[in-house]
């Protein structure tokens, strides 16, 4: 009964590394449903986050703008104007807009353009999942009752029945909301998963898939010794430090199990969609898959996120076209980011986009139209003041600059995406380094916020934000 325009499922994960999907060539991780999207859509192996932490990147995702232009260059919990958001624009265009799962928006219950919001948000009064879990299990139930922290590196199996896991709940609620939608309108639903963000706690089946596998050791570069022993023994939420081999094994087995669990649940969502609504409407659906940032998991003795390195900055990104949509399919090397999500959805759905969106529809890329040369990302000071970072990359080379210390790094990602050798002092790399440094100078000079003066990069102290 809707008007024939495609439905939209924006399917997101949190803290999901771009190399931890099967199609990226990972030797163990199984993501058969995601991998198959390249047959009916487009996969982008050179996708990077504009802000490698959640709250700012959620703003980038919804506003279709890069970090500075959407008012966020790090982790910040502030309200923003939803009248530029993808949900608001889709609602104005006649879509029924639904948000299910992990949000990390502020205020927690603000609709931000959605008509229906069912939260999993880890705070009292804002977590519909926890309310449901207590109804199912009892008042003592707690998502992290197994003792693994929400920002820690400890891996272990889920302690309750598989049906009670938040990954299952998120898909169950998404299907319920789609069934109860306004049938006269196409729907736009953001299905947002907290995992594979820690705790690394997949159900037992998915834990068993990886725990006894030959899990590769974390890559350790020739530049990262300073991060090895920041704490005598790393606390469970440490941002740096060397773990034991068994701790690393459990961390990675749990992480991979969470990813495969999500992939299987995405497959269940696809299968059940055809039973929840009619098959023709289910086929007429645009799917977009992305994550807000990655997870270092011990690479170079680092943990968590906010870094420019591949484990933290590279993300999985793919689209699956509605049936009959005319565009090339396969793997595309173009550098993309989450600012491209909103323009892509608006493009496919025939909705006008605001002129000030800096992102682009990836449909332009797959059709061979003019595209950007590189992605820019940044993060303000977080775990340590000196970790504030700026980076530019095209997925083949990467230049990193630390605006408090002036330190530079340069990696040739065509040699290895593990960033084992920092080439910043290599004589044969100086010409390329100069090209990338100038790209960052030009970009930051246009902003006028004190990071560059048109000729050189400028170190800064203090708390960073647009106009600060």
pLDDT confidence tier of residue 466, bands split at 50, 70 and 90: low
DSSP-assigned letter for residue 399: E
The 10s digit of each residue's pLDDT in 228-255 is 998 888 999 999 999 999 999 999 999 9
Instruction: Sketch the domain layout of the chain as residue ranges.
Output: 7-367, 377-447
Cis-peptide, bond into residue 307, ω within 30° of zero: no
- pLDDT value of position 468: 37
The 10s digit of each residue's pLDDT in 434-456 is 999 999 999 999 999 999 999 99
Cα gap 335→333, rounded to integer Å: 6
What number is the average pLDDT over the span 93-99? Answer: 98
The 10s digit of each residue's pLDDT in 8-55 is 999 999 999 999 999 999 999 999 999 999 999 999 999 999 999 999
- pLDDT value of position 1: 55
Cα gap 434→452, rounded to integer Å: 15
The 10s digit of each residue's pLDDT in 252-298 is 999 999 999 999 999 999 999 999 888 998 999 999 999 999 999 99
Q: Mean pLDDT over all residues of the chain?
A: 95
Contacts of 165 (CB under 8 A, 6+ apart): 158, 202, 203, 261
Is the pLDDT score of 462 beyond 80? no
Altogether, the residues listed in the chain come to a count of 468
Q: Are 190 and 87 in contact (CB under 8 A)?
A: yes
The 10s digit of each residue's pLDDT in 124-136 is 888 999 999 999 9
Residue 442 in tokens? 């030009």
Closest to 422 in 3D by CA, of 398, 440, 391: 398
What number is the average pLDDT over the span 83-108? Answer: 95
| Domain 377-447 top-level CATH class | alpha beta
Please tell me the pTM assigned to this model: 0.97
**Domain 7-367: CATH architecture, name and number where available:** 3-Layer(aba) Sandwich (3.40)
For the chain, percent of residues with pLDDT exceeding 70: 98
């Amino acid at each position: 009964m809707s008007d024939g325009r495609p439905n939209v499922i924006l399917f997101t994960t949190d803290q999901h590394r771009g190399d931890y999907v099967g199609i990226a060539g990972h030797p163990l991780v199984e993501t058969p449903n995601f991998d198959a999207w390249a047959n009916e859509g487009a996969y982008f192996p050179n996708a990077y986050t504009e802000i490698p932490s959640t709250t700012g990147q959620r703003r980038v995702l919804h506003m279709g703008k890069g970090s500075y232009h959407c008012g966020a260059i790090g982790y910040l919990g502030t309200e923003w104007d939803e009248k530029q958001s993808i949900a608001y624009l889709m609602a104005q265009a006649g879509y029924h807009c639904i948000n299910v799962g992990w949000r990390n928006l502020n205020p927690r219950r603000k609709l931000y353009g959605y008509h229906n919001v069912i939260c999993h948000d880890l705070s009292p009064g804002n977590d519909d999942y926890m309310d449901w879990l207590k109804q199912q299990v009892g008042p003592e139930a707690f998502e992290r009752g197994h003792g693994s922290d929400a920002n820690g590196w400890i891996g272990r199996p889920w302690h309750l029945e598989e049906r009670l896991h938040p990954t299952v709940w998120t898909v169950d609620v998404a299907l319920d909301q789609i069934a109860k939608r306004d049938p006269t309108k196409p729907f736009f639903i953001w299905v947002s998963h907290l995992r594979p963000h820690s705790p690394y706690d997949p159900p037992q089946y998915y834990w068993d898939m990886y725990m006894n596998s030959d899990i590769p050791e974390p890559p350790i570069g020739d530049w990262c010794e300073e991060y090895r022993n920041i704490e005598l023994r790393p606390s469970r939420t440490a941002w740096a430090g060397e773990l034991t081999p068994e701790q690393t094994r459990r961390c990675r087995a749990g992480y991979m199990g969470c990813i495969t669990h999500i992939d299987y649940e995405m497959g269940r969502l696809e299968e059940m969609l055809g039973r929840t609504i009619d098959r023709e409407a289910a086929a007429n659906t645009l799917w977009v898959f992305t994550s807000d940032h990655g997870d270092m998991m011990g690479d170079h003795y680092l943990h968590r996120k906010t870094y420019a390195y591949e484990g933290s900055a590279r993300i999985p990104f793919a689209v699956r076209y509605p049936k009959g949509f005319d565009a090339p399919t396969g793997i595309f090397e173009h550098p993309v980011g989450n600012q491209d999500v909103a323009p892509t959805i608006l493009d496919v759905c025939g909705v006008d986009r605001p002129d000030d969106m800096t992102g682009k529809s990836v449909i332009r890329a797959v059709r061979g139209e003019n595209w950007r040369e590189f992605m820019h990302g940044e993060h303000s000071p977080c775990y340590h003041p000196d970790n504030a970072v700026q980076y530019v990359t095209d997925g083949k080379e990467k230049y990193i600059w630390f605006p408090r210390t002036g330190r530079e790094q340069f990696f040739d990602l065509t040699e290895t995406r593990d960033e084992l050798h920092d080439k910043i002092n290599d004589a044969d790399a100086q010409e390329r380094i100069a090209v990338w440094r100038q790209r960052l100078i030009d970009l930051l000079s246009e902003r006028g916020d004190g990071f560059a003066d048109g000729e050189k990069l400028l170190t800064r102290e203090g708390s960073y934000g647009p106009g600060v």
